[in-house]
Amino acid sequence: MEEDLSLKTIISLCKANVFDILEAGAIGHSGGSLSILETLIALYYKIAKIDAKNPKWEDRDRIILSKAHACEAMYAVLGEKGFFPKEKFKEFLHFNSILQGHAEICTPGVEYSGGSLGQGISFACGLAYSARLKKKDYKVFCILGDGECHEGEVWEAAMFASHYKLDNLYVIVDYNHYCTLGDVDEIMNLKPLEDKWKSFGWETIFEKDGNNIKNMIDNFQKLENMSGRPKCIIANTLKNNGVPSWEKEHIHHIAGQKLFDGLEEGRHLLKK
Amino acid sequence: MNESPELKKMREGYGSALIDLAKNDEKIVYVVADSGGHERKWFFDNAKERLIETGIAEANSAVIAAALASEGFKPFVLNFAYLHARMYNQISQSIAEDNYPVRMAGYYAGVWGFGGRSHNCINDLAFMRALPNFNIFSAADYWETKTLVKKTAALDAPSYIRLSGVPTPTIYDSEPEFTSFRKHKDGEDCTIFCHGTMLHETLQACLEEKMNVSVVNIPQIKPLPKEEIINEVKRTGRAVVVEEHSYIGGLAESISSLLSENYPIPIKKVCLNDIFPVSIRMEEKNVYEKFGISRHEIIKTVKSIINQE
């Protein structure tokens, strides 16, 4: 119970961090950041072996944000975890800041410089294969967007991971149902998404509440006991989770008055 | 220089140099997308885990190579030159942006090959040169290919070596020492800069026609050996650039740009037009003649630049 409470507190702190970061940049990808926040917290606080004081520790688990536009969530968690001082949030998108508009390795703790979609999962495959060559037992976690699964490279990589039986590789698909211009399945149908991953040879779990951190932690633990195949969690999430006015509009990236109205709304709800 | 040159594939040189390196360096990994020659077999038989096959999925292969480089391995990636355009966004974001030392090589560059418009790539230097952090090389023969493979192995930055796809005349009789600027002939009236297959064609032009020209091979297209080029033309005052590449974006444009800013002199190009080259049989005669980059075109162009006042 105490643990749940502390996770709840961490979620609130990180969400507040996301708001601060968006405010500093006066623009940002709110939707995909707020949908994936709980997954990142589950990884950085409960699941992955990492050391904020030693981000390049050889035996660490590698966390790849393939949907690198959700960088605000990544920075929020890395800052909270102590990878860099939280004062840096103020510098988001400022000239030469360590906090760029897509997650990049200039930020301590970020393992891959993304932006163009579909590539992070290939990078994660390469890292997972490197562990085998180095005879290390680190794991690789890779967060994909649902719309990102439109990219052909995702499936090239999915085939590769399965071919080489990379069971140290975990993919989380942030199924928040909206890409930039609308319903992801209306833009280009992904369904049946779970069957697709399964048919590519992946252990696949569909999590119907991907914003429930406890469920996500359980899923990771369940998959840890399985071997011989790469692992995938399709996390059904809510885009802009925690800011109802943005949720309603399925906002992808936000700026202007709507940003400031939403920040007020989100911060108000956090205080409750 | 060989008197009667043997024809040898640059790809064979690539393979044997890579095997030499891989025997002594366990960090070397070979990332292939259903590509590679005898060196692929060597890895398969001797270092299977270091042969990373992605299937015909080049985009994936480029990024996997980047990840391996980020973990301290030394990845080599060989594919058709044209496929670097297919992988371009992956090369740009996953390799070049973070300066991961992935060693890429593209064969079937140039006009000579039966693959036709899709396969014969004459603009690879244009798009690869535009990538920050990349080091770009072009091999003149089998032996220089070996030199360049070893050069890129030692570089801590991403690189691309341009290779021909067909057997080409050997110019050297052993691995030449690496240099970014190699003078093959000294003269006073004009400097001919060339690279790749056109080094042989240029040297043949000089044998067929008595010309008081310098011939310089530029195996390193980027970064360009700027000072050496400027110092060379200060002596001759004229330049002709010869390459089996489109006139857009290759060595010719690169040298023109360098000299127009630093030492403006008359420059002419013997390059390919802005075309997609058609299929060519291996036995086809006068291929370079057909595409306007033959030794006769070189002689004509040198004469015209010397006579123009």
Here the CATH number for the domain that contains residue B121 is 3.40.50.970
Contact partners, residue A2, CB within 8 Å, separation at least 6? none
> How far apart are the C-alpha atoms of B87 and B91, rounded to whole Å?
6
3-state helix, strand, coil in chain A (%, to 5): 50, 15, 35
Whether the per-residue pLDDT at A85 is higher than 90: the answer is: yes
Tokens for B264?
A: 């403006």
Instruction: Indicate if B139 and B69 belong to the same structural domain.
Output: yes
Looking at residue B5, its pLDDT comes to 84
Q: Do residues A252 and A184 make contact, with C-beta atoms less than 8 angstroms apart?
A: no
Instruction: Indicate if B105 and B226 belong to the same structural domain.
Output: no
User: Is residue B82 domain-resident?
Assistant: yes
Q: Residue B60 and residue A105: Cβ atoms within 8 Å? A: no
Contact partners, residue B24, CB within 8 Å, separation at least 6? none
Q: Count the domains in chain A.
A: 1
Looking at residue A2, its pLDDT comes to 47
Chain A residues whose beta carbon lies within 8 Å of the beta carbon of residue B59? 118-119, 122, 152-153, 156
Q: Count the domains in chain B.
A: 2
> How far apart are the C-alpha atoms of B187 and B178, rounded to whole Å?
23
> ipTM surpassing 0.85, yes or no?
yes
Looking at residue A4, its pLDDT comes to 60
Instruction: Indicate if B31 and B143 belong to the same structural domain.
Output: yes
Cross-strand partners of A62: A140
Looking at residue A1, its pLDDT comes to 44
- Shortest Cα–Cα distance, B199 to chain A (Å): 39
Looking at residue A253, its pLDDT comes to 87
The CATH number of the domain holding residue A176 is: 3.40.50.970
Of the three residues B134, B169, B204, the one that is the final residue of a domain is B169
- Shortest Cα–Cα distance, B50 to chain A (Å): 8
Domain around B260 = 182-307
Burial classification of residue B124, based on how many CB atoms lie within 10 Å of its CB (0-12 exposed, 13-18 middle, 19 or more buried)? buried
Chain B residues whose beta carbon lies within 8 Å of the beta carbon of residue A130? 67-68, 71, 73
pTM equals: 0.97
User: Is residue B260 domain-resident?
Assistant: yes
Looking at residue A5, its pLDDT comes to 61
Tokens for B64?
A: 């996997």
Instruction: Indicate if B112 and B260 belong to the same structural domain.
Output: no
By C-alpha distance, the chain A residue nearest B88 is A116
Q: Closest partner residue to B64 among A118, A125, A133, by Cβ? A: A125
Instruction: Indicate if B192 and B136 belong to the same structural domain.
Output: no
User: Is residue B18 domain-resident?
Assistant: yes
> How far apart are the C-alpha atoms of B187 and B199, rounded to whole Å?
16
Read off the pLDDT of residues B145-167 as tens digits, 9 standing for 90 and up.
Answer: 999 999 999 999 999 999 999 99
Q: Closest partner residue to B93 among A115, A127, A157, by Cβ? A: A115
- Shortest Cα–Cα distance, B46 to chain A (Å): 15
Amino acid residing at B25: D
Question: Which string of b and e fits A239-254 if b means at least 16 CB within 10 Å?
Answer: bbbbbeebbebbbbbb
Q: Which of B288, B271, B270 is nearest to B190 (CA)?
A: B270
The proportion of chain A whose per-residue pLDDT surpasses 70, expressed as a percent, equals: 98
Q: Residue B93 and residue A113: Cβ atoms within 8 Å? A: yes
Band of pLDDT at residue A45, cut at 50, 70 and 90: very high
Question: Which string of b and e fits B169-199 if b means at least 16 CB within 10 Å?
Answer: bbbbeebbebebbbebbebeebbbbbbbbbb
User: Is residue B2 domain-resident?
Assistant: no
Cross-strand partners of A183: A178
* Token pair 């509440």 in the structure block, residue: A209
Instruction: Indicate if B99 and B199 belong to the same structural domain.
Output: no
Strands B168-169 and B182-185: unpaired
Q: Do residues B142 and B195 make contact, with C-beta atoms less than 8 angstroms apart?
A: no
3-state helix, strand, coil in chain B (%, to 5): 40, 20, 40
Q: What is the DSSP letter of A88?
A: G
Instruction: Indicate if B122 and B234 belong to the same structural domain.
Output: no
Tokens for A244?
A: 């109802």
Q: Report residues of chain B scoring pLDDT below 70.
A: 1-3, 309
Looking at residue B148, its pLDDT comes to 98
> How far apart are the C-alpha atoms of A202 and B176, rounded to whole Å?
50
Q: What are phi and psi of A184, to 5 degrees?
A: -60, -35
Residue A209's CB is within 10 A of a number of other CB atoms, namely: 14
* Token pair 């042989």 in the structure block, residue: B200
Q: What Å distances lie between residue B233 and A34, A172, B236, B301, CA to CA? A: 61, 59, 5, 17
Q: Do residues B61 and B31 make contact, with C-beta atoms less than 8 angstroms apart?
A: yes
Of the three residues B169, B197, B217, the one that is the final residue of a domain is B169
The CATH number of the domain holding residue B246 is: 3.40.50.920
Q: Do residues B145 and B165 make contact, with C-beta atoms less than 8 angstroms apart?
A: no
Residues of B with CB under 8 A from a CB of A: 29, 49-50, 52, 54-55, 57, 59-60, 62-68, 70-71, 73, 89-90, 93-94, 97-98
- Shortest Cα–Cα distance, B164 to chain A (Å): 28
Of the three residues B169, B204, B235, the one that is the final residue of a domain is B169
Instruction: Indicate if B200 and B160 belong to the same structural domain.
Output: no
> How far apart are the C-alpha atoms of A111 and B238, rounded to whole Å?
50
> How far apart are the C-alpha atoms of B29 and B70, rounded to whole Å?
13
Instruction: Indicate if B187 and B226 belong to the same structural domain.
Output: yes
- Shortest Cα–Cα distance, B102 to chain A (Å): 13
User: Is residue B174 domain-resident?
Assistant: no
> How far apart are the C-alpha atoms of A211 and A11, rounded to whole Å?
10
Give the residue from B31, B60, B99 with the most A CB atoms within 10 Å of its CB, the best one to mutate.
B60
Angle between helical axes of A152-163 and B58-70 (0-180°, round to 10): 60
Q: How far is CA A133 from the centre of its chain?
A: 27
Chain A residues whose beta carbon lies within 8 Å of the beta carbon of residue B57? 153, 156, 159-160
Q: Do residues A75 and A17 make contact, with C-beta atoms less than 8 angstroms apart?
A: yes
Helix (H, G, I), strand (E, B) or coil at A7: helix
Q: Which of A30, A43, A42, A38 is nearest to A178 (CA)?
A: A30
Contact partners, residue A269, CB within 8 Å, separation at least 6? A242, A243, A244
- Shortest Cα–Cα distance, B27 to chain A (Å): 9
Residues of A with CB under 8 A from a CB of B: 104-105, 112-116, 118-119, 122-127, 129-130, 132-134, 152-153, 156-157, 159-160, 163
User: Is residue B177 domain-resident?
Assistant: no
Q: What is the DSSP letter of A149?
A: G
Instruction: Indicate if B153 and B193 belong to the same structural domain.
Output: no
Instruction: Indicate if B190 and B157 belong to the same structural domain.
Output: no
Tokens for B125?
A: 């230097």
Q: Do residues A37 and A77 make contact, with C-beta atoms less than 8 angstroms apart?
A: yes
∠ Cα B128 B118 B281 (to 5°): 115
Give the residue from A66, A67, A133, A162 with the most B CB atoms within 10 Å of its CB, the best one to mutate.
A133
The answer to which of A55-64, A108-117, A248-257 has the lowest mean pLDDT is: A248-257
Q: Residue B94 and residue A153: Cβ atoms within 8 Å? A: no
Domain around A16 = 2-271
Q: Which of A160, A234, A222, A163 is nearest to A196 (CA)?
A: A234
The proportion of chain A whose per-residue pLDDT surpasses 90, expressed as a percent, equals: 96
Tokens for A213?
A: 């951190």
Strands A169-175 and A254-255: unpaired
Tokens for B207?
A: 């044998």
Instruction: Indicate if B76 and B118 belong to the same structural domain.
Output: yes
> How far apart are the C-alpha atoms of B194 and B263, rounded to whole Å?
19
> How far apart are the C-alpha atoms of B134 and B128, rounded to whole Å?
8
